[in-house]
Amino acid sequence: MAEPLKLGLAGLGTVGSATVRMLLRSRDELAARAGRAIELVAYASKDPPKDNTIDLSKIRKVESPVALAADPGIDVFVELMGGEGDPAKSSVEAAFKAGHGVVTANKALIAKHGVSLAKLAEQNSVPFSFEAAVAGGIPIVKTLREGLGGSRISRVYGILNGTCNFILTQMQKEGRSFAECLKEAQKLGYAEADPTFDIGGFDTAHKIAILTSLAFGTEIDSDAIYIEGIESITLADLEAADDLGYRVKLLGVAVCSDGGIEQRVHPTMVPKGSVIAEIDGVLNAVAVDSDMMELTLVGPGAGGDATSSAVVADIVDLAAGRKVHPFGRPVGKLGKLSRAPMQRHEGGYYIRLAALDRPGTAATIARRMADENISLESIMQRRRKGRPHGGDNPGAAGASASVVLITYATTEDAVRRALAAIEKEGVLAEKPQVIRIEKS
């Protein structure tokens, strides 16, 4: 049997601890799969392990992750610290320069510096793997990079953040507010004390940026992503979606068309009965549309066990000598991303208006929609008591009604122009709510 593959691991948080536990617990099985032993010989961590049951007494501790990355006693550096900057970035660079392969779960690092790091790995003829950076235990990186090589992909999209999916699921099923469901997510450990990165859509944006590169053979361009979070979603939206045959999900979407590649993250209405609509709780799902097939992968998108399984799968590949280009092709063959701006996005829209209850309001709304050639598939009105606009009397001056419009396919800029014109007419009590409808 070949010499053991020697690992140096940096970061002993939830994922790092779970990875160490799996490497120690499954040593014989991993060796059988890889054709050689895999040994964790050194680690670096500024904090004690998240899991205090793992035994590190026989594993050498190195004070600095950068020093560990360049340590001559390792073959592969496993970066599980997180963050797009240092020490993660400098450690990965040090590992490549020392001739060591790298395995990481760091989506922020890949989204920001993935292409330049892949180039450095190429220059030093060492492997660079990051399956765990997107969708946890779902093998979507390997699927796009290796499993669909003969297909022309037109769209990749999915639920890529379990925190948001949990919140929207609880709101829809239990009829509770966004704030209440966010507090529960924090209590259960699904959301951070500062949840902005998740609920603002930024975590999903990092992941869709990576998937875009893998799907379409382009350099990563995370600055080209249109981002909306779920903070504005209300129970009224979820109830209206249910009545209209939809569920609301936060999706990351990348579409390739003649106009370029469109990357977007936003709350989306998807038809009930579709696979994506039925993904509840903290699960993730990624769908791929191509000229050969449509494929959907579902599984846990976060957590120590799911993410560490992807980390260890990458390690086994390296131990077995399976080496591929990080983004499916040499860095020099990655194309520049041709941006398709959101203003050119075409699709259906859900629009909720708090329309003032006075003569001419409906005609004004219809006229402004028609001015932009927006055709309406359906209109649904719910009487809403005017608080604070009109007290408990629906006919009082200032009372408003919730008017929900579903449009046929139109463009983003047409919708925005029509709504701006409606707001100028002074017939709305609140800012309009807009949610895109995605075919699935």
Residues with catalytic function: 207
Residue 319 within any structural domain of the chain: no
| Whether residues 150 and 286 fall in one domain | yes
Q: pLDDT category, 383, cuts 50, 70, 90?
A: low
Residue 249 within any structural domain of the chain: yes
What are the distances in angstroms from CA 251 to CA 132, 233, 311, 398, 434?
19, 14, 24, 36, 15
Q: What is the pLDDT of residues 45-82, one digit of tens each?
A: 998 898 889 999 999 999 999 999 999 999 999 999 99
The one-letter amino acid at 27: R
| Whether residues 429 and 351 fall in one domain | yes
| Whether residues 160 and 183 fall in one domain | yes
- β-pair partners for 159: 285
| Whether residues 152 and 122 fall in one domain | no
What are the distances in angstroms from CA 70 to CA 36, 77, 128, 264?
23, 9, 15, 38
Q: Which residue, among 405, 355, 353, has the nearest Cα to 379 in the 3D structure?
A: 405
Phi, psi at residue 197, to the nearest 5°?
Answer: -60, -35
Query: Which spans in 129-247 are helix H?
Result: 140-142, 162-174, 178-187, 196-199, 202-216, 235-244
| Whether residues 110 and 190 fall in one domain | no
Q: What is the pLDDT of residues 322-338, one digit of tens each?
A: 999 999 999 999 999 99
Residue 211 within any structural domain of the chain: yes
Q: What is the pLDDT of residue 351?
A: 97
Q: pLDDT category, 382, cuts 50, 70, 90?
A: low
Q: Domain holding 47: CATH number?
A: 3.40.50.720
Specify the higher pLDDT residue, 77 or 395.
77
**pLDDT at residue 395 greater than cutoff 50:** no
Last residue in a domain, options 300, 326, 356 = 300
Q: How far apart are CA 90 and CA 88, in angstroms?
A: 6
| Whether residues 56 and 184 fall in one domain | no
Count the Cβ atoms, other than its own, within 10 Å of residue 393: 12
Q: pLDDT category, 303, cuts 50, 70, 90?
A: confident
Q: pLDDT category, 386, cuts 50, 70, 90?
A: very low
| Whether residues 118 and 169 fall in one domain | no
Q: pLDDT category, 381, cuts 50, 70, 90?
A: confident
Q: Which domain covers residue 388, as residue numbers?
A: 345-437
Q: Are 153 and 143 in contact (CB under 8 A)?
A: no
Give the mean pLDDT of the chain: 92
Over residues 125-148, mean pLDDT: 94
Q: How far apart are CA 134 and CA 410, in angstroms?
A: 31
Q: How far apart are CA 15 and CA 114, in angstroms?
A: 20
Over residues 158-179, mean pLDDT: 96
Residue 318 within any structural domain of the chain: no
Tokens of 194: 């500062």
CA dihedral 95, 97, 101, 104 (to 10 degrees): 50
Q: What is the pLDDT of residue 1?
A: 59
Q: Domain holding 242: CATH number?
A: 3.30.360.10
Query: Which spans in 4-87 are helix H?
Result: 14-25, 27-34, 65-69
Specify the higher pLDDT residue, 385 or 273.
273
Q: Are 430 and 351 in contact (CB under 8 A)?
A: no
| Whether residues 164 and 285 fall in one domain | yes
- β-pair partners for 43: 9, 61
The one-letter amino acid at 138: I
| Whether residues 247 and 385 fall in one domain | no
Q: What is the pLDDT of residue 398?
A: 59
Q: What is the pLDDT of residues 11-37, one digit of tens each?
A: 999 999 999 999 999 999 999 999 999
* Residue at token pair 């999916």: 165
| Whether residues 280 and 377 fall in one domain | no
Number of domains in the chain: 3
Burial tier of 161 (Cβ tally within 10 Å: 0-12, 13-18, 19+): buried
Over residues 353-377, mean pLDDT: 94
Phi, psi at residue 41, to the nearest 5°?
Answer: -105, -20
* Residue at token pair 């001419």: 360
Q: How far apart are CA 283 and CA 334, in angstroms?
A: 31
Residue 312 within any structural domain of the chain: no
392: CB partners within 8 A, 6+ apart: 385
What are the distances in angstroms from CA 177 to CA 168, 194, 304?
10, 18, 29
Q: What is the pLDDT of residue 335?
A: 95
Tokens of 111: 């989204």
Cis-peptide into 87, omega within 30 deg:
yes
Last residue in a domain, options 86, 112, 133 = 133
Q: What is the pLDDT of residue 389?
A: 38
| Whether residues 95 and 177 fall in one domain | no
Q: What is the pLDDT of residues 246-256, one digit of tens each?
A: 999 999 999 99
Helix/strand/coil for 359? coil
Q: pLDDT category, 312, cuts 50, 70, 90?
A: very high
Q: Domain holding 355: CATH number?
A: 3.30.70.260
Q: Are 238 and 171 in contact (CB under 8 A)?
A: yes
Last residue in a domain, options 133, 157, 191 = 133
Q: Which residue, among 342, 104, 307, 110, has the nearest Cα to 214 in the 3D structure?
A: 110
Residue 308 within any structural domain of the chain: no
What are the distances in angstroms from CA 69 to CA 9, 16, 77, 102, 107?
8, 15, 6, 9, 19
Tokens of 92: 């990965």
Model's pTM, two decimal places?
0.92
Q: Which residue, among 135, 102, 94, has the nearest Cα to 288 in the 3D structure?
A: 135
Q: What is the pLDDT of residue 301?
A: 86
Over residues 343-357, mean pLDDT: 90
Lowest mean pLDDT segment, chosen from 8-22, 32-46, 121-135, 373-387: 373-387
Q: Are 374 and 432 in contact (CB under 8 A)?
A: no
Q: pLDDT category, 391, cuts 50, 70, 90?
A: very low
| Whether residues 384 and 417 fall in one domain | yes
Residue 358 within any structural domain of the chain: yes
Q: pLDDT category, 259, cuts 50, 70, 90?
A: confident
Residue 327 within any structural domain of the chain: no
